[in-house]
Each structure stands twice: as structure tokens, then as C-alpha cells.
Amino acid sequence: MKTKIINNSMLLLILICLNLGVFAQRSLQKARELKNNFDYAEALVYYNNYFRTNTPTVDHAREVSESYFKINDTRNAELWLSKVISSGSFNASDVLNYAHLLRSNGKYNEAIIQYEKYAELNPSDRIVATQWITASEMALIWMQEITYFKVVNAEVFNSENADFGLIPFGEEYILTSDRETRGSSFSNNDLYGWTGKPYLKLMLFSDVDLDDNTAEINVLNSINNEFHNGPANFDVNRNTVFFTRTKAVRVRKSPVNSDPTSWIDYAPQGEFISRLEIYSSDYSNGTWTEPKPFAYNKAEEYSVGHPALAPDGSIMYFASDMPGGFGGTDLYYSILNIDGTWSIPQNAGESVNTSGNEVFPYVEKNGTLYFSSNGHPGMGGLDIFKAFGSQNRWTSPENLKFPFNSPKDDFSIIFTEIDKSGFIASNRDGGRGDDDIYRFELLPPRNMTVVVITKERIDNSTSGLLPQVNLNVVTGDNTSLNLNTDENGLLYMQSDCNESYNFTAIKDGYFSDNKSITTECRSYNDTLYVELLLNKFVVGRTFAIKNIFYDFDKWDIRDDAKPDLDDIVKILTENPQINIELGSHTDSRGTDRYNERLSQRRAESAVAYIISRGIDQSRITAKGYGESELVNQCADGVRCTDEEHQMNRRTEFKITSLNY
């Protein structure tokens, strides 16, 4: 009886394990089916279910990394691909993808290491790898450069989903978003399988208050269809909105781009894929006309989308992967004919187009073309560029750099004031949702922090903080302030930019020090450090005087030596309690007797000049040392360079006594 019970228990355990194994395998199978059907968000749910009871293999890690990448979760994509790299079972493609992910996550130094590894694994692609390395190095430099643009999250436009393609519409705005709106409910058929979120819709933002983050939001149902809609561009000349739509086409094909905000080629159901088309709708008396297709839509073969109008409405620029381009998606243009039709599209040329993707064109009122690209060297993902020209004649594109660009995707720029303010979209770190709207504004910094540090010299190579030092501060308009450093030898000041200051540090028993600065603001959080070093009065301490030169075999004071001797006059005037010896030294060339006499005459000549400037002769004596105190090895008979001999030809002063 007991044996039977045990056998039944074992059988039950075996059945449970078998069922769990079958369930796990079904989860893995379902995950791969969804991934192959481009339903990446839902596929990840099944992958994670499988990993609860099973250890991921290298192939699993690749699949999961790709799925996370497709939904723009580059952090998790990097994490999973790192498992492939650390396993040792990687190939050159894994290393390249890992480098791209590191770069998109702002880990430029780590990305450079992986690009170098990729070049070793795939020498034929070394030139391209070097370009990515250079782009990573440039990104690090750009993030340190001076910038007067401030970029902040425009919260009023953003949700937890994707928000991009903001355009002005009179006093209102039109935005592309896949957010869930109030009172709406979604079935699986209403959700975009790639992201697991609703389809993109054009939405109207009214009564926008950027400061209070309030606005009235309405979906433009009269021009949206059931799939993706947007981004758009509004032609104020004709009160016409041009916008992008997706169309399901019965053709099976792999996607050309992972990000539906930059390009879409996705199979939503069955044997259909989605390609982009351009539509237009006229606005009059608060209503929109039935959307009309662009004459050159050809969804059966390629996509056209992201329309942008020249300021006068005479040229439409757009993105397309039509045959004959330079890469994945190129910029094209079509000219408005007199009869209102559009000319046959032409490629915008190799200056702006690359083997990568060029998308989201925008033409500023002054004719400057802005667009996003992952083919030109950038910081990672899509970067925003600008070029000057028209149609298919453009200057070499200029990267807008940081802070317009980031390691992630940056796109759909518009200006509210030329070269001064506007909006961009980005999925950079720190946002509210997938893609957020950011507001940029030219705001040169107006002030900065000045930190004055007072120190005392301990020996020739070390110093220490000196507290409670009096500071005489003279501003550019000759206003004088008397301040003090604190118990740590520090003084903090708030200063306007481009202000001039002269600091003089004074403390009993020390030589004063002086320094002049100008507050050149380089960023919004600049701090300028001013260090003042004071030497303590110590009998016997010697100080070198620079730039005291004499003509050969002469001892008269040259004009170029007078400023440094005037500094000695100033020191003695400001510090009446010290008496000094002024010593002159020669190099070893010449006889000892000759050098001693020459140095004595030179010292006496310098002392005479100082006395002539009002210093009591009882406070200063002259001493010629000749070649008796060389500072290097250049003694008699030793071959030395002129520079080495020059080190010995010096003038010094030494504190001989103190009068308190």
C-alpha cells in the first residue's frame, strides 16, 4: 500500500514536470512566432515566461536582445547582448551590434573598444569601424563644448507613450502620438503588434500653456484612419495639412527599420505589410476635407512619408525608400506645378543622402533644410543635421551636436524663432515616455560662481590652505570691496558673465598675491576657481626675480628689466616690515674674480634703481655671488647649452630681517 502511494506521488510529480516542460516549450515557440511576425512587445512576454524555468541559451539572448532593440529599449538590448559577448560564442555581427548599443546608451569609451574588436574580426570593414570610432570620440568632445541652448522636456505635450512630430497650427499645435486618449478602449486589433501600443494618431492641442503644462487635447478623427497617422506638415499658404499614413499591402517582406517613428515596413496581420503614403487635407471654417493621396504614392513597391513644405509651399520634401536611392531611406523633392499638381519626385542628392536612413525633413523660413540621419557621423541613433541650398544642391550637412542631439534618436525639429527657439522629439534618457517633445531656447548664461582659494606656500612643491585672508576686490567699474576667505581659505561669489575682477590677497606675515580675471561663462553651471598663493615671511627665504637681463659684460638696468624691479618696489612698499638682500648670480664662464665683480656691480645697479623708486636704502643691500651658487652641474670645464648656463644667470632677493 505504501509503495503504491509513493508510486502515485512520483507519477504525479512526473506529470507536473512534463506539463511544465510542455508549457515552457510552448512559450518559447509562441515567443519565436510572435518575433517572426514582428510582434516584439508581446514576444518578450513569452520569452520571459520561458526563462522563469529555463536558462537562456546564447541564441535566446540574441533573440531577446533584438526584440528589445526593435521596441527601442536599448538598455535591456545591451544587457542581453552582453550575455552573448561574455559567453565567448559571439561573431563579428554580435560585436558590431553590441558596439552600436553601447554607443546609443552613451557609453562611448566602451563602444570604441568594441568597434576596435569588430575591426579585428572583420578587417574588410575597418574603414567603417574607424568612422564609428571617430563619431564616438567626437560625441565625447561635443558634450564638453560650450553651448548656450537650453533643452528641457515640454511636459504639456508628452505622455507615457510616443509623442513626436509637433507642428504649429495657427495658435494651436498638431502632434503625432500613440497615447491612449480619455474614454477610449482598445482591443488587440487596435494595438500595434510591434510596440503593443495603440496606432499613431494626429492630435490637436489647443489652449496650450507651456508653463502650467495644461492643454485641451482632441484626436483629429476626421483625417485619421485605423492604422498609423503622422507626422504632418501644415502649409499656411493653402491651409492644407500634408501627413503620413500607413497602408496594408499584401506582400511579405522583412522590415527595413526598427523604429516606427522614423520608418515603417511591418506586417500587421496575415501576409500584409505596412508602407507609408502621403495624404493631404484642406482646412476651412473648422472642418477638414476628405484626405487626398499624393500622386506618387506607390505602396505596392515602396514608401513615401514625412512631408515637409518649403516656406512658400512650392516644393515638398519627403523621405522614401523608392528604387534608385543611396541607401535605406533618402530625401526626395517634388515641385508644385502651376496647375496645382506635383512634379515627378527627384532625389535630393548625395550631399544629404547616405547609405543609412535620412528622415523627418523640415525647411525653416530662411530655407535651411533640417533632417535626421543615422548615416552621417553622429552621437548615436538618429541625429539632427542642417544643410543650405535647395532641391538637389546642398552644402555638406552640419551636425547640430549636443544638446540638440543625444546618444538616442533625435528628430522632427521645428523652430518657433529662427536659430533661437523651437521643439525637437527625442527618446533620450530622462523623458516621460518612448519619444518626448523637448523645447529648446537660446539662453546664454547670465551669471556664474567664482570661488577664491587662498593658500600659503610650504615649500617649492607643496602648499596648504590659508584661512582668514583679507581680499581687496576691484571690479571692472573700479568699485572696491573688502572681503575675507573663511576658515577653510575659501570665498564664494556670484558674478555676472563677462565681468572683470582684480583680487589682492593680504595677510600679516605674508607677501600679498594678486590676480586678475574675466568671468567668461561657458555653460549654465560654470564655476571659476581663482587661486592666490601667499609666501610667509621667513628670514633666509629666497625668491627668484624673473626677466632681469643684462647686456654682455655690462651692469646697467635695461628697460625690459624695469617692470620686474618695479614688482620688488611694490613688495617692499606693501610689506614695510621686511628687509631684503638683492643677489646677482652669473654662470661659470669667465674667471671667478671677474664674475664676482660683475655680479656685484649688477646687484648694486638693481638696488640703486629700487632706491630711486622711493625705497629706504637701509632696507635693501646688494650682494654679488658670481658663480659661487650654481643651480645645476654647469661648473668650470663642464660642457652645457646656452639654456643651461642661462639658469645660473639669475637675480634673487632674500629676506634678511623683519621689523615689526
- Average pLDDT across the chain, whole number: 87
**pLDDT at residue 192, as a whole number:** 67
pTM: 0.68
**pLDDT at residue 376, as a whole number:** 93
**pLDDT at residue 446, as a whole number:** 87
**pLDDT at residue 267, as a whole number:** 42
b or e along 145-184 (b: 16 or more beta carbons within 10 Å of the residue's beta carbon)? Answer: eebebebebbebbbbebbbbbbbebeeebbbbbbbeeeee
Count the helix, strand and coil residues of the chain and give each as a percent rounded to the nearest 5. Answer: 25, 35, 40
Q: What is the signed CA dihedral for 570, 575, 580, 584, rounded to 10 degrees?
A: -30
**pLDDT at residue 400, as a whole number:** 96
* H or E stretch covering 128: helix 126-142
Neighbours of 347 (CB within 10 A): 18
**pLDDT at residue 274, as a whole number:** 77
**pLDDT at residue 279, as a whole number:** 97
pLDDT tens sequence across 220-274:
999 998 888 999 999 999 999 999 998 866 554 444 443 444 443 444 444 557 7
Q: Are 405 and 458 in contact (CB under 8 A)?
A: no
pLDDT tens sequence across 362-395:
999 999 999 999 999 899 999 999 999 999 999 9
Q: Are 296 and 277 in contact (CB under 8 A)?
A: no
For the chain, which domains are there?
24-142 (1.25.40.10), 149-442 (2.120.10.30), 447-534 (2.60.40.10), 542-658 (3.30.1330.60)
Cell for 168?
A: 504649429
- Which residues on neighbouring strands pair with residue 275, listed in sequence order? 247
Q: SS in 3 state form for 164-193?
A: EEEEEECCEEEEEECCCCCCCCCCHHHEEC
196-to-47, 191, 247, 432 alpha-carbon distances in Å: 15, 6, 19, 18
Q: What is the signed CA dihedral for 202, 206, 208, 212, rounded to 10 degrees?
A: -100
pLDDT tens sequence across 173-191:
999 998 887 545 445 556 6
Average pLDDT along the chain, 660 residues, taken 10 residues at a time: 48 45 71 84 88 90 91 90 92 93 94 95 92 93 86 94 94 92 55 75 93 91 90 94 83 45 42 83 93 95 96 96 94 96 97 95 96 93 96 96 95 94 94 91 90 90 92 93 95 94 93 92 85 91 78 76 88 90 90 91 92 94 91 90 84 87
**pLDDT at residue 250, as a whole number:** 53
Q: How far apart are the first and last CA of the chain?
A: 112
Q: Are 202 and 229 in contact (CB under 8 A)?
A: yes
Q: Are 278 and 304 in contact (CB under 8 A)?
A: yes
